[in-house]
Each structure stands twice: as structure tokens, then as C-alpha cells.
Chains A and B, each alone.
Chain A
């Protein structure tokens, strides 16, 4: 069974610091990869996604992620965080299992940005 690991459970940064959140998955086949963000009190929203092509994916609000197939990783990065980036971030992996979607989410990383 596929699994998704987010090793950082809680990250605290000062504004303007650089961010990198780790995401590793266990499935060896073709996958689609996502990062979702959940701002306080809100529902999950898509931040960025990777399906194929350029392994460096750019998303909204200056976020980017790099797919490294050999490392089964899809780490999220942002060069300079803002207070408004305080949120919980979820990595997700999707694969086609028997014709149906199968999506697995990581346990999430809470990011707190201090002004």
C-alpha cells in the first residue's frame, strides 16, 4: 500500500526565512503529486501539482516543489515566507488503482510564521 510521509510536523519560521517542507512517498509506479494548504479555519486548497514533464513545479503564492523520482520525494519550497503563509500543508499522492483514483495524504505540517 502506498504511504506518504511528512517528517516535519510543526515548523516555526520568521518572516523572510526560506522554507522547505519534506514529503516522501512509498509507491514505485507512476504517481501524481500534490501539495494542499489549509489556512486557519478554512478548507483545503490546492497549492500545486505534478503530473509529468518538468520536475520543478511552480504553484500559487510563490511556492514551488521539486519531484525527485530517485528519492521518491516531492519537497515544497518557498524562498521567503510571509506571515500570511501560516497554515497547515499537506502532501498527497494519487495513483490509478484498478481504474479508480487512490489518493493518500500525509499527516500534514503546521507552519507558523512569526512577524
Chain B
């Protein structure tokens, strides 16, 4: 039972390159989220998705693109990476039950943009 996985776990890329971070969950959760974690800022929501083909912006969406063609996958793309996007990225998922907003987090991807 894999739960929620992210790949790659570590990535170094150059400024201006396109990078895609993958997120996969095995629970068929409706909601999926992308956060970035930076020192002094805690967790900030980049994008979220309520279901397949439904996505919406979070607090810091600029420079990122998401898609959700299948319920289990929620890739995050940095269209043209910048140094300010160096961060740890966490994917999370949550069930459709409105009472249970508990989120389950993946192991994270540490991205360095040089």
C-alpha cells in the first residue's frame, strides 16, 4: 500500500528550464494539493484540485502549472524555473468527505534551482 508518492525526491535544475514534479496517490482521494515549504513561511498552498479536471489557485500559484486528468495523479510543472522556486514541495491528498479535511502528505521533493 504505497499511499501517496512523489518523484523525484531530489532535483537540481537550471534557471529557465521546465521541471515537472509528480504526485501519485492510491486512495482515490478527491482532493489533492501542492504546497511549498520555505523557512519562515511554513507551508504555502500553490494549487489544489477538488477532483479530476478541477483545479484552482492557492496562495502562491505564479510560475506553476498543474493538471489533473486522472484522479490519482497531480503533476506540478514549473514552466521556467527561477531561483526563488528553490524549495521543498509537498503533495497531499484528502478524502471527499466534507467532515474529514485531514490531509495525507507525500515525502516531499527537494528542488534546487541554480
Taken together as a complex, chains A and B put the C-alpha atoms of A101 and B33 apart, in Å, by 11
By DSSP majority rule, is chain B's interface helix, strand, loop, or mixed?
A: strand
By DSSP majority rule, is chain A's interface helix, strand, loop, or mixed?
A: strand
Please tell me if the beta carbons of B108 and A43 are within 8 angstroms of each other in the complex.
yes
Q: For the A-B complex with A42-B107, A43-B105 known, give 4 more contacts whose Cβ atoms are closer than 8 Å.
A: A43-B108, A44-B103, A100-B50, A105-B45
From known contacts A44-B90, A101-B94, infer whether A90 and B42 are also in contact, taking CB-CB under 8 Å. Answer: yes
Taken together as a complex, chains A and B put the C-alpha atoms of A105 and B41 apart, in Å, by 10
Contact residues of A between 24 and 49, Cβ < 8 Å to B: 32, 34, 36, 42-46, 49
Contact residues of A between 77 and 115, Cβ < 8 Å to B: 90, 92, 94, 96, 100-101, 103-108
A-B Cβ contacts below 8 A, count: 52
Please tell me if the beta carbons of A43 and B102 are within 8 angstroms of each other in the complex.
no
Q: Interface size (B, Cβ < 8 Å)? A: 24
Please tell me if the beta carbons of A108 and B45 are within 8 angstroms of each other in the complex.
no
**Interface: A51 (CB within 8 A):** yes
Question: Among the listed A34, A96, A104, A105, which residue makes an inter-chain contact with B102, where contact means beta carbons less than 8 Å apart?
Answer: A34
Could you mark each residue 84-114 of chain B with 1 if its beta carbon is under 8 Å from any beta carbon of chain A, else 0? 0000001010100011011101111000000
Taken together as a complex, chains A and B put the C-alpha atoms of A67 and B31 apart, in Å, by 26
Q: Interface size (A, Cβ < 8 Å)? A: 23
Taken together as a complex, chains A and B put the C-alpha atoms of A30 and B106 apart, in Å, by 28
Please tell me if the beta carbons of A49 and B102 are within 8 angstroms of each other in the complex.
yes
Contact residues of B between 24 and 64, Cβ < 8 Å to A: 31, 33, 35, 40-45, 48, 50, 56
Taken together as a complex, chains A and B put the C-alpha atoms of A82 and B90 apart, in Å, by 27
Name the residue among A90, A96, A100 with the largest chain B CB count within 10 angstroms. Answer: A100
Name the residue among A34, A96, A103 with the largest chain B CB count within 10 angstroms. Answer: A103
- B40 partner residues in chain A, CB cutoff 8 A: 107
Please tell me if the beta carbons of B43 and A105 are within 8 angstroms of each other in the complex.
yes
Q: What are 22 inter-chain pairs, A to B, with CB distance below 8 A?
A: A32-B99, A34-B102, A36-B105, A43-B105, A43-B106, A43-B108, A44-B90, A44-B105, A100-B48, A100-B56, A101-B31, A101-B48, A101-B94, A101-B98, A103-B33, A103-B103, A105-B42, A105-B44, A106-B42, A107-B41, A108-B42, A108-B43
